[in-house]
A and B are shown apart, each in its own frame.
Chain A
Amino acid sequence: SQQGEEDPQALSIQEGENATMNCSYKTSINNLQWYRQNSGRGLVHLILIRSNEREKHSGRLRVTLDTSKKSSSLLITASRAADTASYFCATDYRETSGSRLTFGEGTQLTVNP
């Protein structure tokens, strides 16, 4: 099963508004990453937050991490039409066969001009 789950599945907002996406995960992690994917393309890394960090900023992006609730949120401020994409959280998932980076189902963000 997926390690991470994003919420909501889809989000539609107007340009200039803020967009918030949430991610929940199941097991303890060392870090959590957020990626963006434009339609039919590869994923692009946005930000990485370590388990001992609570908040991180990068330009218009703000990520929070609550390890007690096993959840993270990605906030995009002052959104633009170019922010239209799918957003995924990814966590390092450890099992007996080794580690892997596992991705949630993603949030489809549409920013209307």
Chain B
Amino acid sequence: KAGVTQTPRYLIKTRGQQVTLSCSPISGHRSVSWYQQTPGQGLQFLFEYFSETQRNKGNFPGRFSGRQFSNSRSEMNVSTLELGDSALYLCASSLKWGTYNSPLHFGNGTRLTVT
């Protein structure tokens, strides 16, 4: 079974631009969560989607948004990029949402650099 796939692997953008990151979950997994990882803040929860609906959202500004498609693939978008948005963005999939009695399966992330 293929793992979680995130594209692109690396991205370099300029301040003010917008970016879209993609995540394909493990087949059969309907929940997709997004995390931002930075050296200073660690792993911060962005949002979780299940059955095309956002189920929970972290404390990030409205510039961060996401969506999930009917095939469970998910995208996240960051508009008006700031230098502080430089981070590793991780996507994780699981069978269910809201209960964490089974592992999350992570992709290898998208490394976003904002210059």
Which residues of B lie under 8 Å from residue A44 when comparing CB positions?
106
Count how many pairs of residues, one from A and one from B, have CB atoms less than 8 Å apart in the complex: 67
Q: Is the interface of B mostly helix, strand, loop or mixed?
A: strand
CB pair B101–A48 under 8 Å, yes or no, is yes
Does B48 reach chain A (CB closer than 8 Å)?
yes
CB pair B107–A42 under 8 Å, yes or no, is yes
CA distance A35 to B43 in the complex (A): 12
* Binary B-proximity of A25-50 (CB < 8 A = 1, otherwise 0): 00000110101000011111100101
Minimum distance in angstroms from B107 CB to a CB of chain A: 5
Minimum CB distance partner of B57 in chain A: A97
Minimum distance in angstroms from A98 CB to a CB of chain B: 4
Does A88 reach chain B (CB closer than 8 Å)?
yes
Does A101 reach chain B (CB closer than 8 Å)?
yes
Minimum CB distance partner of B94 in chain A: A101
CB pair B101–A106 under 8 Å, yes or no, is no
Minimum distance in angstroms from A37 CB to a CB of chain B: 8
CB pair A103–B99 under 8 Å, yes or no, is no
Task: State the interface size on chain B (CB cutoff 8 A).
Answer: 28
Contact size range, A: 20 to 34
CB pair A105–B102 under 8 Å, yes or no, is no
Contacts A43-B90, A43-B106; is A100 near B42 (CB within 8 Å)?
A: no
CB pair B100–A92 under 8 Å, yes or no, is yes
Which residues of A lie under 8 Å from residue B88 when comparing CB positions?
40
Which residues of A lie under 8 Å from residue B109 when comparing CB positions?
40-42
A contact set with B: CB distance below 8 Å? 2, 30-31, 33, 35, 40-45, 48, 50, 88, 90, 92, 97-106
A-B residue pairs in contact (CB < 8 Å), sample of 30: A2-B42, A30-B99, A30-B101, A33-B100, A33-B103, A33-B104, A40-B88, A40-B111, A41-B108, A41-B109, A42-B6, A42-B90, A42-B92, A42-B109, A44-B106, A45-B104, A48-B102, A92-B99, A92-B100, A98-B98, A99-B56, A99-B98, A99-B99, A100-B48, A100-B56, A101-B45, A102-B45, A103-B42, A103-B43, A104-B42
